[in-house]
Amino acid sequence: MPQSTSPGGAPSAPGADGPIPGFYAVVPAGGAGTRLWPLSRAGAPKFLHDLTGSGRSLLQATVDRLEPLAGPGHVVLVTGRAHVAAAREQLPGLPDDAVVAEPSPRDSMAAIGLAAAILQERHGDVVLGSFAADQVIAGRDAFEQAVREGVEAARAGYVVTVGIAASRPSTAFGYVRSGASLGVEGAPTALHAVGFTEKPDAATARAYLATGDYRWNAGMFLVRTSVLLGHLQRLRPALHDGLVRIAAAWDTPERDAVLEDTWPGLEKIAIDHAVAEPVAAEGGVAVVPGTFGWDDVGDFNSLAALLPSLDGTGTKILGDEANVVRVESAGSVLVPAAGRPIAVLGLDDVVVVDTPDAILVTTRARAQQVKDVVQELHERGLDDLL
């Protein structure tokens, strides 16, 4: 059940403008985006790329969305040490103490949990919202409305997730099932979250949509820091204790020593499995419906939906159109990232990604399987390409 003691900060009425009092936005920026290889790699993951042609990387666009809601100095980036320099270059206005550098990947629970513990150490009980750096959102007003309602439900003691209205029976996303209204003041659309499901097969996904009760699980969570850490202490005490130990040393000269001693031993687990799923079974999770457009840009086929069509043929180009030659070809995704011409003759619905040291050729139908190519390269010892 939710914990009801409210943190400081006046509630923000839905539809209100300006930063939300007592709210901090956390941006986990990790993962190599293996289905977008060779464009996305371990050294330059997808969140550092402009995948929409907007002139802003996914990371920059994420922070652009969150800063008006959280306010100056209230956006915290959690990323790997290898990406700190690139992230700082893209976000020059981010304060030094707003970057949490992980020594190694330990999955989302450690990343979000460490941010929560640091915020709790610095500011006491505040509302945290976690929004991945590699997602694309369309419809800013609807997004802001969902976040504001989510904050109010979080103030009431719930772990809150934003459930995206499913536009199709996707097998690429997990789902959250919604139940009855919560009746939380300031969050009129907030519902009980009955439970979470992993990526379904096609028939199950169609059945989910037919009920009207299932929404895509976008991995967006809003929760008070004390509530999240309380659940973690109860459900994963060793992980909780390690994160709190690191947070206590974070703003001291002992940070590096404590981090190196503690971080490698932390359990590697997603926040969904560590907290969201067990707490939902206890009735402590809320879902706020999100009516905005959303995509996690999981592969080149989904990337196609974000780019304009060329000449009405359904061909999508990420990069300089002058470097693309098509003859009797339609419906393809072409990425001339090496700066040299790509020519496609007599082929439809293909994916061609040209980078200086690697080329990918596949079909849009098999775009999800690009991760298998990455695995094969790894097994051959070609990690320098990954």
What six digits make up the tokens of 129? 């919202």
Is residue 197 assigned to a domain? yes
In a domain, 110, yes or no: yes
At 130, phi and psi to the nearest 5? -105, 125
Give dist(CA 64, CA 60) in Å, integer: 6
The answer to whether position 61 is within a domain reads yes
From first to last of its 386 residues, the chain has per-residue pLDDT tens of: 565 544 545 444 444 689 999 999 999 998 777 899 999 998 899 999 999 989 999 999 999 999 999 998 999 999 999 999 999 999 999 999 999 999 999 999 999 999 999 999 999 999 999 999 999 999 999 999 999 999 999 999 999 999 999 888 988 889 999 999 999 999 999 999 999 998 899 999 999 999 989 999 999 999 999 999 999 999 999 999 999 999 999 999 999 999 999 999 999 999 999 999 999 999 999 999 999 999 988 899 999 988 988 778 899 999 999 999 999 999 999 999 999 999 999 999 999 999 999 999 999 999 999 999 999 999 999 999 99
273 and 375 inside one domain:
no
Please state, rounded to an integer, the average pLDDT across all residues of the chain.
Answer: 93
- Can you give the pTM of this predicted structure? 0.91
Q: Provide the residue range defining the domain that includes 212.
A: 23-295
CB 122 within 8 A of CB 36: no
Q: Which of 224, 88, 95 is nearest to 156 (CA)?
A: 224
- Domain contains 12: no
178: closest CA among 192, 190, 166, 167? 192
In a shared domain, residues 142 and 278 = yes
Whether residues 331 and 253 share a domain: the answer is no
Bridge partners (DSSP) of residue 177 are: 195, 214
List, as one string, the DSSP characters of 28-93: EE----GGGTTTSBTTB-GGGS--SSSSS-HHHHHHHHHHHHH-TT-EEEEEEGGGHHHHHHH-TT
Element (H, E) at 22: none
Total Cβ atoms within 10 A of residue 15: 10
Shared-domain flag, residues 304 and 260:
no
Tokens describing residue 326: 């098509």
Do 108 and 252 have their domain in common?
A: yes
Residues 286 and 329 occupy one common structural domain:
no
Cα–Cα separations (whole angstroms), residue 20 to 74, 128, 148, 158, 182: 10, 11, 7, 18, 21
Residue 57 within a domain: yes
263/332 same-domain check: no
- The helix (run of H) or strand (run of E) holding residue 28 is strand 23-29
Chosen domain end from 261, 295, 329: 295
Is residue 29 located within the same domain as residue 152? Answer: yes
Based on the domain organization, do 209 and 329 belong to the same domain? Answer: no
Same domain, 51 and 162: yes
Q: Does some domain include residue 280?
A: yes
Distance CA(145)–CA(292), nearest Å, equals: 10
Query: How many domains, in total, are found in the chain?
Result: 2
| Whether residues 287 and 342 fall in one domain | no
Last residue in a domain, options 271, 295, 319? 295
* CA 127, 228, 94, 247 torsion-angle sign: positive
Based on the domain organization, do 322 and 285 belong to the same domain? Answer: no
The residue among 295, 330, 361 that closes a domain is 295
Whole-angstrom CA distances from 112 to 35, 250, 256, 344 are 24, 15, 19, 44
Q: Tell me, letter by letter, the H, E, C secondary structure of 99-120.
A: EEEECCCCHHHHHHHHHHHHHH
CATH code for position 143: 3.90.550.10
